[in-house]
Chain A
Amino acid sequence: MKKFITIIVALLTIQSASAWSKAIHAGIAAIADANLTEQTKESIRQALDGRNIVYSAHWMYDMEKTKGFEQTKNWRSVAVAKNNKPLNPKKSLHHKEDIVRRAQGLEALAAAIRAIESEKLSKEELANNIRYIVTIVGDLHCPTHYIYPEALELRKMSFTYNKKQSYVSYWEHTSVAGTFNWKSNEFVHQLNRKSAEQIAAITKGSITNWVTKNAAEYREIYSLLENGTTFSQKDFRNWQNKIYPISTEQVAIAGYRLAAILNGLFDSNVPNVKIK
C-alpha cells in the first residue's frame, strides 16, 4: 500500500513538473516551421540530420533523465519580480524557494542563442542548442511557467470536475486539448493565420520584453478560477470557453516568436532577435 501511494505521489509530481503537452510543443514548432525562411529551414535541416524542428519539439523533456542533461529540468520556467521583469539570476539562484531557483528558462534560452551566435559549436552542440531553443520558447509561452515568488500559493490552486485537479496541471495538459485535440498540422491550419502586420507586432522587441509582457498577461489567468470551485458539467464547459481562446493564442504567439529567433540566427537577411 505504501509503495502504491509512493508511486501515485511520484506520478502526480511528474505531472505537475511537466509543461505544455507534447502535442502543444509540436504545434508550436509546426507553426514556427511554417514561418521559417528557406535559408533557415535548410540550415536547420542540415543541423538536425534532415529532420525539421517539429521532430525535436519535446526533445528537451525526452532527455531530462539522460546523464548530462539533468540540468535541463531547470530550464522550463522563468521567475519574475512584482513589476513582471525577470528576476536577476544571481538573486533567483539563491532564492529560498526551490521552484524559484529552478526557474532558469530565460538564462538557458539566452545561453543557447549566444552559443549558436558564437559559431563555435560542434555539429552535435549546434543541434542540441537548436532543440533547447525550440522547447524553451514554447515553455516561456505557457502561463503556468511563470513563477511569481510573492504569490507562490497560486500554484496550489485547484478545482473539482469529476475529480480534484490542479489548475497548473489543467493549463499545461488540458487548456487546449479539453477543447481541441489537434495534431501538429491542425495547429498550423487553425492558428497560423496572422497577417504580416500582426506577426510583426508579436515579434517586436527583445526576448526579455516578451517575457515581461507575458508575465503581466499571465497573472490574469489566476483570476479566471475561484480556488476550490466544484464545476457541474455545464459550468465546466462554460469555464473552458474562457480558457481555450487564451491558450491557443499563446501557442500561436510562441510559434511566431520561435520562428523569429531561428530566422535571426540562421538567415543572414533577417535581423537577430535581441535577448535584452
Chain B
Amino acid sequence: MKKLNLLLLFAVAFSCTAMAWDNRGHSTIAYIAERHLTPRAKANIESYIGGRSIVYYAAWMDFNRSTPPMDVTRDWHVDYWTNEHRTDANGNPQPPCSVSQIKRIVSDMSDFRTLSDSLVSINIKYLVHLVGDMHCPVHIDFPTSRPMKVTMEKKPVKVHAMWDAYVLNSKHNGTSPMQLAEEFDILSAEQIAKVQSGHPDQWHLETVEISKKVISMLPENKKVTYDNYLNEAIKYAEDRITVAGYRLAAILNSIFDK
C-alpha cells in the first residue's frame, strides 16, 4: 500500500515543483488560522474578500503567480539564505522574500481602514499564503540545497518538490484540509500563546534551523523511503503547518481585531 502511495504521489510531487506547500497544506494552515480568528477580525477580513473564507484564497498566490501583474510576486514565496546579492552585511535575507513581504504588509496594514479596499483585499491574500510559505522548510533557499535531488521509487525528484507536496500527502492524501485542521489544532491555549509569541524574523530563523535539520536527515544515498526519511519528515511537516496556522491567526488578529 505504501508503495502504491509512493507511486501515486510521485506525480503530485512532480506537478508542484514551483509551488510551496500544495493546496492541501496551504488550506490546512488557513483553516487552523480561521479557527483562531477573533469574531471581529474574521468579520473585518471577510468584508474585504467578498464574504469568502480566508481558506478560499490559501493558494491564490500560487494560482496567479504567472498572471501579469501578479508575476512580480513570483519570488516572494521563498526566503533566500545565500551569500549572494540577496543578503545584507549581516547575512539577513533581503527582499524579495516571504518574510520581508510579510513584515512590509503587516506594517502597511497597521491602519488598514486608510487603505483602498482592493489593497487590503490583496494584502490579505498575500498574508494567508506567505505565512504558510515561510514555515515550509524548503522555502529557505540554501544555495546548497536548491539543486539537491533525491530518488523516490527510482525516480529523481528535487528536495523542494518533495517537501512542497509529497511529504504531507504521503500520509494525508485523501484527507480534507478541514479534517486535517481539526486533527492538527490540538494545542492548549498556553501552548498556542507560546507558538504565537515573537515576530516574523524570529519565526524565520526557527524555520532556517528546521530546514537545516530536515536536509541533514536525508539518507546518504538519497534514496528516500518511509523508513529512512518520510515517517520522521511527516512529523515536521505537520508541526510546521500547525505552527503556521496559529501564527497566521496571530498576525491577522493583530491587524483586524480593531
Residue of B nearest to A198 (CB): B51
Beyond A189-B53, A189-B178, A238-B67, 9 additional contacts (C-beta under 8 Å) are A183-B179, A185-B176, A190-B53, A193-B51, A194-B51, A237-B66, A238-B64, A241-B64, A241-B67
- Report B225 CB to chain A, min CB distance, Å: 26
Interface residues in chain B, defined as those with a beta carbon under 8 Å from any beta carbon in chain A = 23-24, 51-53, 55-56, 63-64, 66-67, 176-179
Contact A186/B177 with A180-B23, A193-B51, A193-B52 known, Cβ cut-off 8 Å: yes
Q: Which of B23, B24, B53, B63 contacts A241 (CB 8 A)?
A: B63
In residues 178-196 of chain A, which contact B (Cβ within 8 Å)?
179-183, 185-186, 189-190, 193-195
Residues of A within 8 A of B (CB): 179-183, 185-186, 189-190, 193-195, 234, 237-238, 240-241
- What residues of chain A lie closer than 8 Å to B53, measured between beta carbons? 189-190, 193
A sample of 18 cross-chain residue pairs with beta-carbon separation below 8 angstroms, ordered by A number, consists of A179-B63, A180-B23, A181-B23, A181-B24, A181-B176, A183-B178, A185-B176, A186-B177, A189-B55, A190-B53, A190-B56, A193-B52, A193-B53, A194-B51, A195-B51, A237-B63, A238-B64, A241-B63
Closest 9 CB pairs of A and B: A183-B176, A234-B66, A193-B51, A186-B178, A238-B67, A190-B56, A241-B63, A186-B176, A190-B53
Q: Which chain A residues lie closer than 8 Å to B24 at the CB level?
A: 181
Q: Which residue of B lies closest to A188 (CB)?
A: B178
In the assembled complex, which residues on chain B have CB atoms less than 8 Å from the CB atom of A234? 66
Tell whether, in the assembled complex, residue A185 and residue B178 are in contact, meaning their CB atoms are under 8 Å apart.
yes
CB distance from A83 to the nearest CB of B (A): 33
Query: Which residue of chain A has its CB nearest to the CB of B177?
Result: A186
Closest to A180 in B: B23
C-alpha spacing A185/B53, complex, angstroms: 13
A179 to B59, CA, bound (A): 9
In the bound complex, CA of A183 to CA of B27 (Å): 13
Residue from B23, B56, B64 whose CB has the most chain A CB atoms within 10 Å: B56
Whether B52 and A182, one on each chain, are in contact in the complex, defined by CB atoms closer than 8 angstroms, is: no
Contacts of A181 in B (CB 8 A): 23-24, 176
Which single residue of chain A is at the shortest CB-CB distance from B55? A190
Residue of B nearest to A234 (CB): B66
Q: Cα distance A237–B66 when bound, in Å? A: 8
Closest CB in chain A relative to B165 CB, distance in Å: 12
Known: A190-B55, A190-B56, A193-B52. A182 touches B176 (CB 8 A): yes
Nearest B-chain residue to A235, judged by Cβ: B66
Residues of B with C-beta under 8 A to A179: 23, 63
- Nearest-CB residue, chain A, relative to B62: A237
CA–CA, A186 and B67, complex, Å: 27
What CA separation (Å) do A41 and B56 show in the bound complex?
28
B52 surroundings in chain A (CB, below 8 A)? 190, 193
Closest to A193 in B: B51
CA–CA, A241 to B64, complex, Å?
8
A183, B64: Cα distance in complex, Å = 24
CB of B157 to closest CB in A, whole Å: 16
Q: How far is the CB of B196 from chain A (nearest CB, A)?
A: 24
How far apart are B15's CB and chain A's nearest CB, in angstroms?
Answer: 8
In the complex, which residues of chain A have a beta carbon less than 8 angstroms from the beta carbon of B176?
181-183, 185-186
- What A residues does B63 contact at CB under 8 A? 179, 237, 240-241
Q: How far is the CB of A248 from chain B (nearest CB, A)?
A: 9
What's the nearest-Cβ distance from chain A to residue B35, in Å?
11
In the complex, chain A residues whose CB is within 8 Å of the CB of B55: 189-190
In the complex, chain A residues whose CB is within 8 Å of the CB of B51: 193-195
Q: Least Cβ distance of B185 to chain A in Å?
A: 15
The docked-state distance in angstroms from the alpha carbon of A194 to that of B64 is 25
